[in-house]
Amino acid sequence: MKKFFKAQQVSPNVWWVGAIDWNVRNFHGYLTDRGSTYNAFLIIDEKITLVDTVKAPFADEMLARISSVIDPEKIDYIISNHAEPDHSGALPAAVAAIKPEKIFTSAAGAKTLNLYYGDLGYTAVKTGDSVDLGNGKCAFVDTKMLHWPDSMVTYYDRDKLLFSQDAFGMHLACSKLWADENPWSVMEYEVRKYFANILNLYSEKVIALLDSLPGLGLDIEVILPDHGPLWRKDLDKIIQLYRDCALQAPVPRAVVVYATMWGSTKVCAEAFADGVRSKGVEVETADLLVNDRSNIMTKVAGAGLIAFGAPTMNNQVYPAMADIMNYIKGLRIKNKIAFAFGSCGWSGEGAKQIAALFDELKLEQPLPMKQVKYMPQSNETEEFFNAGAELAEKLLEKINNK
């Protein structure tokens, strides 16, 4: 059955020909509760060029959108900015339909695409290279490890567009193509979530890239990421948001992340949170058994004070906490005031393992880890309240002194 979809024009010579994945809820472990999009773009120049493709099951949708503008066989070039399968999965189908003269990608991209799909005939490009399309040209900029070794971005000078692949994107399926047509609160939340879960560990590289942008001499009017809405207004705003995410500067917000078996750690978590609140610092508690890890990471990235609490089970930290510890370790959170706590019956490794992780991440721990036996007594819950109040004050001092 032939699918029917239409392209949408985004500039005088460029069309959006991507796919909307309304129903994806698990993107390699990332909770995409608002779905996602896989953006691909068609440049109509003397050399007609497809920039990126879509996830494999959406190849028909992309080809149908292309066909609403031009016969796919008229396409001359394909540019693959990123080899991850959400953007390259439809490449074999695209190549079969288009029979392109050339496929441009980075050297690492050529190797990776070759492993995924075999040799489709790749031409490796690097920073400083460009390809002449007739009226305009596409210039390539390596963005290695943002967030794969193959990652690069492409600038089309005729329409002043930056095809930024994953950068400046978000997982969001929506009817409105442009970010400025959607509520800023949703844009900000989803960008922060995407950054926290995908790019946080490469924060230094993001800052270096943002710092290098003016020196690249690219006159960028529109940013076209491979996920979510596109940016044509207030580019400074999204660039500053990226810088904020990458810097992880302390903010007056706290999150208390906990797991609990019989309620003891929860009682401690709630008393701590109430202490934080008593100092006017915004705080929330998050039970690991009902919160997805990608949402927990978003909350952690957006907090200046984090408290992690868990019981001990089988002489180890409780499994749900071990999972999130492993996750935030990989994503390398920084610049936080941290507090480890928990409850145990006897051996008590749980809170100690959390404190050790915070040490490893070089997070500031003004108070030693705190652990109760079996059930917190009333003097102990008061101590947790006081600990929350004390660390909230320390957070405010840190923010005021920066």
Is 87 marked active-site?
no
Nearest CB to ligand FEO, comparing residues 15 and 30: 30
For residues 5 and 400, give the distance between their C-alpha atoms in angstroms, rounded to a whole number.
53
Nearest CB to ligand FEO, comparing residues 166 and 383: 166
For residues 152 and 162, give the distance between their C-alpha atoms in angstroms, rounded to a whole number.
11
User: For ligand FEO, which stretch binds (CB under 6 A), given 15-23, 82-90, 98-106, 128-136?
Assistant: 82-90
Q: Does 82 bind ligand FEO (CB under 6 A)?
A: yes
Taking alpha carbons only, the member of 223, 153, 158 closest to residue 187 is 223
Q: Does 61 bind ligand FEO (CB under 6 A)?
A: no
Query: Which residue of the set 227, 258, 318, 383 is catalytic?
Result: 227
Other C-beta atoms closer than 10 Å to the C-beta of 375 total 12
> Residue 163 — φ and ψ, nearest 5°?
-85, 105
Nearest CB to ligand FEO, comparing residues 227 and 370: 227
Is 119 marked active-site?
no
Nearest CB to ligand FEO, comparing residues 67 and 197: 197
Output the smallest distance, CB 355 to ligand FEO, in A. 33
Query: Which residue of the set 38, 76, 82, 226 is catalytic?
Result: 82
Is 28 marked active-site?
yes
Nearest CB to ligand FEO, comparing residues 84 and 380: 84
Output the smallest distance, CB 238 to ligand FEO, in A. 17
How many chain residues interact with ligand FEO (CB under 6 A)? 8
Q: Check if the beta carbon of residue 233 is closer than 8 Å to that of residue 226.
A: no
Q: Which residue is nearest to ligand FEO (CB)?
A: 84
Q: Select from 34, 47, 65, 87 the one that contacts ligand FEO (CB under 6 A).
A: 87
Q: Using CB under 6 A, which residues numbered 22 to 41 contact ligand FEO?
A: none
Nearest CB to ligand FEO, comparing residues 196 and 268: 196
Q: Does 55 bind ligand FEO (CB under 6 A)?
A: no
Nearest CB to ligand FEO, comparing residues 167 and 273: 167
The contact pattern for ligand FEO, residues 124-153, with x = CB under 6 A and - = no contact, is -----------------------x------
Is 86 marked active-site?
yes
Q: 53 is written with which tokens?
A: 């493709």
Query: Which residue of the set 150, 166, 190, 380 is catalytic?
Result: 166
Query: Which residue of the set 86, 190, 380, 383 is catalytic?
Result: 86
Q: Using CB under 6 A, which residues numbered 182 to 241 contact ligand FEO?
A: 226-227
Q: Does 171 bind ligand FEO (CB under 6 A)?
A: no
Output the smallest distance, CB 225 to ligand FEO, in A. 9
Q: Select from 45, 150, 166, 380 the one that contacts ligand FEO (CB under 6 A).
A: 166
User: Which residue in the block uniquely carries the two structure tokens 């928990």?
Assistant: 342
Query: Which residue of the set 77, 194, 258, 318 is catalytic?
Result: 194
Output the smallest distance, CB 148 to ligand FEO, in A. 6
Please give the torsion angle defined by the CA atoms of residues 163, 169, 172 and 178, in that order, rounded to the nearest 10 degrees: -50
User: For ligand FEO, which stretch binds (CB under 6 A), given 83-91, 108-116, 264-272, 346-354?
Assistant: 83-91
- Helix/strand/coil (H/E/C) assignment for every residue in the chain: CCCCCCCEEEECCEEECCEEECCCCEECCEECCCCEEECCEEECCCCCEEECCCCHHHHHHHHHHHHCCCCHHHCCEEECCCCCHHHHCCHHHHHHHHCCCEEEEEHHHHHHHHHHHCCCCEEEECCCCEEECCCCEEEEEECCCCCCCCCEEEEECCCCEEEEECCCCCCCCCCCCEHHHCCHHHHHHHHHHHHHHHHHHHHHHHHHHHHHCHHHCCCCCEEEECCCCEECCCHHHHHHHHHHHHHCCCCCEEEEEECCCCCHHHHHHHHHHHHHHHCCCEEEEEECCCCCHHHHHHHHHCCCEEEEEEEEECCEECHHHHHHHHHHHHHCCCCCEEEEEEEECCCCHHHHHHHHHHHHCCCECCCCCEEEECCCCHHHHHHHHHHHHHHHHHHHHHHHHC
User: Which residue in the block uniquely carries the two structure tokens 């797991």?
Assistant: 259
Q: Does 383 bind ligand FEO (CB under 6 A)?
A: no
Q: Does 84 bind ligand FEO (CB under 6 A)?
A: yes
Nearest CB to ligand FEO, comparing residues 20 and 259: 20
Task: Give the residues lining the site for ligand FEO (CB under 6 A).
Answer: 82, 84, 86-87, 147, 166, 226-227
Q: Which residues are catalytic?
A: 28, 82, 84, 86, 147, 166, 194, 227
